[in-house]
Amino acid sequence: MRNIKLTIEYDGTRYCGWQIQPDNITIQEELEKAITKITKEKIKLIGSGRTDSGVHARGQVANFYTKSRVPAQKFKLAINSLLPKDIAVLESEEVEKDFHARFSAKGKEYKYLIYNNKIRSPLLRNYTYHVPYSLNVEKMKKAATHIIGTHDFKAFMSSGSSVKDTVRTIHSLSIEERPENIIEIRIKGNGFLYNMVRIITGTLIEVGTDKIPVDDISEIINSQNRSKAGHTAPPQGLYLERVFYRETS
């Protein structure tokens, strides 16, 4: 059996997230259907992790095992020709047998886009979180410094997750003002709890509007209490940018 790794971009707007579920269209299902058509095998695609309904990806990673002799590079073009326009394979390559998109992952990078303007933007409605009140970005940057590092992030995990070990390391967390009222948050870490990036974003926004004082961030983390952190920012501003598979990346 050969092991094929895919790097995938998708617009999550139309989908009920990554993971296959009955009665709803998902990105995993669309990809498995396309690959099955090419290989004539029943394909099980292993993703680096789920993304929720409405969340986008510019570098989701997945792998599958196949007996097909299609050259690894050709899979990209063959799969793309069968996919809907809101999903594309950016790269396809053959990897070692023990590569596992989820268990081999060493970390991930996410981007979150805020549209900070009084009036909502029709063009950005599915690709940003519209925040109509003014944000103090300097305060948000200060708050970010308290989030970077190794902490128990239980306060930043949505209920419903069965994860036991809630300690994670955030390697970097930047907040930049971009042209045309966009605020871009980038966050890299060794792993993320359920909704963690969206709760961090919601908390940073509440710091930016003076609802949460900068100095409370460490206390919120230490509380391990979800109700102390800010709201969960909506899915459409979130992008899975990259999955890392080497410690050095």
For the CB of residue 137, give the shortest distance to a second copy in the complex, in Å. Answer: 20
Residue 136 as a binder of a second copy (CB under 8 A): the answer is: no
Residue with smaller CB distance to a second copy, 54 or 230:
54
CA angle 221, 222, 224 (to 5 degrees): 75
- C-alpha dihedral (163, 164, 165, 168), degrees to nearest 10: 30
9-68: contacts with a second copy (CB under 8 A): 9-11, 56, 58
The residue annotated as part of the active site, out of 52, 98, 152, 215, is: 52
Closest distance to a second copy from the beta carbon of 155 (Å)? 31
**Can 52 be counted among the known catalytic residues?**
yes
Q: Is 127 in the site for a second copy (CB under 8 A)?
A: yes
Q: Which stretch binds a second copy (CB under 8 A): 3-11, 34-42, 106-114, 210-218?
A: 3-11
Give yes or no for residue 133 binding a second copy (CB under 8 A).
no
Rounded Cα–Cα distance for residues 226 and 78 (Å): 45
Q: What number of residues does the chain have?
A: 249
Among 41, 53, 72, 86, binds a second copy (CB under 8 A): 86
Query: Under DSSP, is residue 8 helix (H, G, I), strand (E, B) or coil?
Result: strand
**Amino acid identity at 208:** G
Judge whether 110 is annotated as a binding position: yes
Ordered DSSP codes for 54-98: T-EEEEEEEEEEE-----HHHHHHHHHHHS-TTEEEEEEEEE-TT
The 3-class SS string of 172-207 reads: EEEEEEECCCEEEEEEEECCCCCCHHHHHHHHHHHH
Q: How far is the CB of 10 from a second copy (least distance, A)?
A: 5
- Which residues of this protein are in contact with a second copy, per CB under 8 A? 9-11, 56, 58, 76, 80, 85-90, 119-123, 125, 127
Catalytic machinery residues: 52
